[in-house]
Amino acid sequence: MINIVLLSLLVVIAIAIIRMKDLFAVVMLTGIYGLLSASFFVAMDAVDVAFTEAAVGAGISTLLMLVAITMTGRKEKVTRHKPFAALFIVLITGGLLIYGTLDMPLFGSADAPIHSHVAPRYLNDSMQEIGIPNVVTSVLASYRAFDTFGEVVVIFTAGIGVLALLFVPRRKEEDEKIASINDSMHEHHLVIRIITKMLIPFILLFALYVQFHGDYGPGGGFQAGVIFSSAIVLYTMLFGLSTARKVINQGFIQLMAAFGVLFYGCVGIASLMNGGNFFDYNVLSDDPVAGQHLGILLIEWGVGVTVAAIMIIIFFSFAGRRELQQHSENNKNRESL
């Protein structure tokens, strides 16, 4: 019942997003869409997914899209031509896909193929083999550690891509000039500065809780990394980019991003060295279960460090570009006067 209501709300919002021309409103609705789909995941009992969706879909990605809009423009481009051929193809493909689902087993049916191969083993044996209450974590970090390694590398690559496209090295005196503009703009936000100062330690602590509690409840490296970075993002938004760069050096976070991936890989290599398979944590310690615990702890660390560093890098690059643009616009205005 709840699922049907949530899904129909999702459809309503998706249609509204398509109909909107004002990109700012679209970003706001995307935020609502993220919140809604996360509550949908909660209602479906997929707690870890809901966690990620909450942190990434509703939080960071909304922010990044917003920064992008302030750099580009607020109105959607009006297209003159009517793409009927494309509509036709999309309709046919959609129809075929829906026709294809008719052959699939019913949603949630117990004898669906996906529930009859590896899932029973994960659910029944993971407690003896790995000894962690949260099955999602043991699948993600141990049974499918190689997949997760791939995901971390994908995130790392995305960070490098953003860095290559948007990063602008600055000279020091230029940096100070830009910083002075930025700070003068936000001196009047007193209340929010104080509240933020109160909240940031709490957010950082909570990120660590999510990181280390991932074995027992919802959470893990990905979520913790995003929450950790969101604290830094909050700081950056209120106190300016150059202040934040003084707290966390750009070079340092780039190093940390690479270090996290390397650390993850090294755990795999270490298990190879000890005579097991790649990411076979049983050999890391005398007791297989203790070895699993150690391995999962270590790779979650690697994931968390990389995700946090990459998120901070992406936000810094976006914000840096934006400041630079503002700076050049200000210069232009001054010249025209």
Partner 1 sequence: MEILLSITSGLFLFIGSFLCISGGVGIIRFPDFYTRMHAAGVTDTLGSAMILTGLMFQSGDLLVFAKLVMVLLLILLVGPTTSHVLAKAAFHNGLLPQGLNTLSKSDDKEDTSSNT
Partner 2 sequence: MLIAATLAIFVAMLLAIFRGIAGPTLYDRILAVNMFGTKTVLLISLLGFVMGRPEFLDIAIVYALINFISVIGVLRYSDTDQFKHRQSNDKPTEKEL
Binding site for partner 1 (CB under 8 A): 188-189, 191-192, 195, 198-199
Report yes or no: 113 and 120 within 8 Å, Cβ to Cβ: no
Q: Is 244 in the site for partner 2 (CB under 8 A)?
A: no
Q: At 288, list the tokens.
A: 């297989």
Q: Which is nearer to partner 2, 136 or 267 (by Cβ)?
A: 136
User: Cα–Cα distance between 331 and 337 in angstroms, integer?
Assistant: 10
Residue 220 phi/psi, 5° resolution? 145, -170
Residue 198's binding partner among partner 1, partner 2, none (Cβ under 5 to 8 angstroms by kind) is partner 1
Q: How far is the CB of 196 from partner 1 (least distance, A)?
A: 9
- The residues, any chain, with a CB within 8 Å of residue 15's CB and separated by 6 or more, are none
Residue span binding partner 2 (CB under 8 A) among the ranges 35-43, 161-169, 268-276, 287-295: 35-43
Q: At 297, list the tokens.
A: 């702890």
- The residues, any chain, with a CB within 8 Å of residue 271's CB and separated by 6 or more, are 277, 278, 279, 280, 281, 283, 284, 295
Residue 217's binding partner among partner 1, partner 2, none (Cβ under 5 to 8 angstroms by kind) is partner 2
Using the Cα atoms of residue 303, residue 152, residue 37 and residue 70 in order, give the sign of their dihedral. positive
Q: Is 58 in the site for partner 2 (CB under 8 A)?
A: yes
- Using CB under 8 A, pick the residue from 7, 23, 35, 294 that binds partner 2: 35
User: Cα–Cα distance between 320 and 152 in angstroms, integer?
Assistant: 25
Report yes or no: 63 and 233 within 8 Å, Cβ to Cβ: yes
Longest Cα pair distance anywhere in the chain, in angstroms? 75
- Using CB under 8 A, pick the residue from 23, 135, 160, 234 that binds partner 2: 234
How many C-beta atoms surround the C-beta of residue 171 within 10 A?
Answer: 8
Which value, in Å, is the radius of gyration of the alpha carbons in the chain? Answer: 23
Residue 309's binding partner among partner 1, partner 2, none (Cβ under 5 to 8 angstroms by kind) is none
Residue 306 CA to chain centroid, in angstroms?
Answer: 11
Q: Which is nearer to partner 1, 106 or 190 (by Cβ)?
A: 190
Q: Which is nearer to partner 1, 170 or 213 (by Cβ)?
A: 213
Residue 272's binding partner among partner 2, partner 1, none (Cβ under 5 to 8 angstroms by kind) is none
Report yes or no: 310 and 257 within 8 Å, Cβ to Cβ: yes
Tokens 């580009």 correspond to what residue?
Answer: 72
Q: Is 311 in the site for partner 2 (CB under 8 A)?
A: no
Q: How far is the CB of 53 from partner 2 (least distance, A)?
A: 10
Residue 223's binding partner among partner 1, partner 2, none (Cβ under 5 to 8 angstroms by kind) is partner 2
Q: Which is nearer to partner 2, 45 or 335 (by Cβ)?
A: 45
- Using CB under 8 A, pick the residue from 23, 43, 248, 297 that binds partner 2: 43
Q: How far is the CB of 297 from partner 2 (least distance, A)?
A: 19
Q: Is 12 in the site for partner 2 (CB under 8 A)?
A: yes
Q: How far is the CB of 73 from partner 2 (least distance, A)?
A: 8
What number of CA atoms fall less than 13 Å from residue 148's CA on the CB side?
29
Residue 13's binding partner among partner 2, partner 1, none (Cβ under 5 to 8 angstroms by kind) is partner 2
Q: What amino acid is encoded at 170 in this protein?
A: R
Write each residue from 15 to 34 as x if it is in contact with partner 2 (CB under 8 A), else as -, in one continuous string: -x--xxxx-xx--xx-xx--
Residue 58's binding partner among partner 2, partner 1, none (Cβ under 5 to 8 angstroms by kind) is partner 2
- Using CB under 8 A, pick the residue from 137, 138, 143, 218 that binds partner 2: 218
Query: To 5 degrees, how large is the angle CA 306–CA 318–CA 32?
Result: 85
Tokens 């970075």 correspond to what residue?
Answer: 229
